[in-house]
Structure 1
Amino acid sequence: MTNTSYDVIIIGGSYAGLSTAMALGRSLRNVLIIDSGLPCNRQTPQSHNFITQDGQEPGVITQKAKAQVLAYNTVKFLHDLAISGRKIDNGFVITTQSNSSFQATKLVFASGMKDIMPDIKGFAACWGISVIHCPYCHGYEYRGQNTAMIANGDRAFHLASLVSNLTPQLTILTSGKADFKPEQMAKLKHHEIKVIDAKITEIEHQNGHLRQIIFEDGKKLAFDVAYGSVPFVQHSDIPASLGCELTEQGQIKVDGFQKTTLSGVFACGDSGYMMRTVASAVFSGNLAGVMVNNELATEQF
């Protein structure tokens, strides 16, 4: 790759980043996508709730999108990891793990979030397969089945309100002292949702498909699926190092046009949006691309 200067560098080449690149490529902007190949849904067998692609493998959607985006010859794709960035007078410089450096007038962060797995044996192996995070993305496929929810407090209560519409067999596993308000406990009891506070030590599974949940006291309970609520961090620390403000939840703070608090920098997809779905990533990426192009056009016209 001989060119080192671009109109736009997009860090992250999954749904949001590719959607951004398509909008920019169609406006003949010189774009470099830098992607390390580790999307957060890489273990998920099927993607749902995305019209025209319902039930498709996530990787197949990405491959098709990448082929369509790279048909625009002003868009380039680099398989590498962006590790640092710095502001310069006329834009930004991004350095990668392979010690390559690239310059751009604008930056777009579509690098996503990294989920932090709990210290429960088998949890990570099941993540995205039978330990799931979103009833909209995966709940329908497990409707009516024996369902655990590994969560506590307000988060567990909110999830229970959504999942109870999908199955009558729901048990909340707090893996420690339950933290519910009296009115929340009353409502859970009303809906016959059990709460178990024994500490979880292992998820017994077969190739990522949950079989039993094992507790510290040796008790085992069989489930078909579990919802897991896990903390997450930005997949890339470059936005914070450049000075982009983060929200209390850890997303990059953006306005209604995907602009961050740092001039010339935009963010889309999971990086800057709480709805972690393919559809929302595509939408926010498209909007980011349009707004980056608009900003370039205004500055250059």
Structure 2
Amino acid sequence: MKSMFDVVIIGGSYSGLSAALALGRSLRNVLIIDGNSPCNKQTPHSHNFLTHDGATPKSISDIGKSQVLAYESVDFVEDFVTKAIKTDNTFKIRTASKKTFFSKKIIIATGIKDIMPSIKGFSECWGKSVVHCPYCHGYEIKGKKTGLIANADIALHLAPLISNLTSKLDILTMGKPKFESDAILKFKNNNISIIEKPIVEIEHQQGVVTNVVFDDQTKMDYEALYAPLPFEQHSSVPEQLGCKLNELGYIEVDMFNKTTVDGVFACGDNSSRMRSVANAVASGNLAGAVVNMELSQELF
């Protein structure tokens, strides 16, 4: 395989593949480097993405990969990028298998990594019956007895969305509630209880929640849970290149998916709070188009 490319895309899931499709159709020499560790690997079904509603995440990416690699100017390697350096107008990329590649532009499509809480049974249920997003999973758990593991502003944001899908909702604050009196009144008016006790275990059957166990060993039965989790960038490459992160921890990009480093773009979950397959595909398509435009202008 050659070592010099117009664009190296770090991350080959939905946003990376979408960027590669736009670039491949513009005859750009593209290399996708992907470590095969998507954040939704144990999620059984993907939803709210037109034409693929209900498909498995892997089936969507497999179809996307086969379509993208039909373009002769696009290459794919399964590897993990460990280092990226900018030298003048060229980027040098090193991988875990000690391969070196060079490119004129970089698109970072590496996603984010969820930080799981130290609650027994949580990780086994994550993406199945413990979920993060009412748009991605809410319809499938509508009407079920549901707990929202959250506090403060994020609980206030999610509670109305979830209560639209079920009338059986509790907020599990894992400690002292951080709500103003008007918010507490809204919860009361919508029959939403606030439970302060810390959770120590989620009992489940093959990833399907049955009970929440609190630190005083009492239990409450639930059929589903929402849990907005803290996260970190899945790759150290943005930091290595000097890309600025915003106050929430996402890569800062402008409306064209440009980072604060010239020649470096980002798309997908690593740079957007809209964490969905549909958004990843859309942002990747935009990033690919803008990179092609820059390359075209530089060569014209």
TM-score range relative to shorter protein: over 0.9
Q: CA deviation at 1:227?
A: 0.1
Amino acid at match of 1:117: M
2:40 corresponds to 1:26? no
Structure 1, unaligned stretches of length 5 or more?
none
Question: How does 1:233-248 map onto structure 2 within 5 Å?
Answer: 233-248=232-247
1:192-244 CA distances to partner (integer Å, 9 max, x unpaired)? 10000101001111211111111110111111100001101110111112111
Match of 1:251 in 2: 250
Match of 2:124 in 1: 125
Match of 1:147 in 2: 146
Amino acid at match of 1:227: Y
Structure 2, unaligned stretches of length 5 or more?
none
Divergent runs of 4+, >2 A:
none
Amino acid at match of 1:194: S
Q: CA deviation at 1:90?
A: 2.5
Looking at structure 2, the residues matched to 200 and 287 of structure 1 have their Cα atoms a distance apart, in angstroms, of 42
2:45 corresponds to 1:46? yes
Match of 2:207 in 1: 208
Question: How does 1:181-200 map onto structure 2 within 5 Å?
Answer: 181-200=180-199
Q: CA deviation at 1:7?
A: 0.4
Looking at structure 2, the residues matched to 64 and 240 of structure 1 have their Cα atoms a distance apart, in angstroms, of 31
Paired residues, number: 300
Question: How does 1:100-119 map onto structure 2 within 5 Å?
Answer: 100-119=99-118
- The DSSP-based 3-state class of the residue aligned with 1:266 is strand
Looking at structure 1, the residues matched to 205 and 115 of structure 2 have their Cα atoms a distance apart, in angstroms, of 22
Q: CA deviation at 1:59?
A: 0.4
Match of 1:169 in 2: 168
TM-score (norm 2): 0.99
Looking at structure 2, the residues matched to 238 and 187 of structure 1 have their Cα atoms a distance apart, in angstroms, of 44
Amino acid at match of 1:69: V
TM-score (norm 1): 0.99
1:120-172 CA distances to partner (integer Å, 9 max, x unpaired)? 01111111100000000000111111001111111011110110110000011
CA-based RMSD:
0.7
Looking at structure 2, the residues matched to 91 and 156 of structure 1 have their Cα atoms a distance apart, in angstroms, of 45
Looking at structure 2, the residues matched to 52 and 172 of structure 1 have their Cα atoms a distance apart, in angstroms, of 34
Looking at structure 2, the residues matched to 237 and 28 of structure 1 have their Cα atoms a distance apart, in angstroms, of 29
Amino acid at match of 1:12: G
Looking at structure 2, the residues matched to 94 and 212 of structure 1 have their Cα atoms a distance apart, in angstroms, of 47
Amino acid at match of 1:90: N
Match of 1:97 in 2: 96
Looking at structure 2, the residues matched to 49 and 88 of structure 1 have their Cα atoms a distance apart, in angstroms, of 41
1:99-140 CA distances to partner (integer Å, 9 max, x unpaired)? 111100000000001000011011111111000000000001
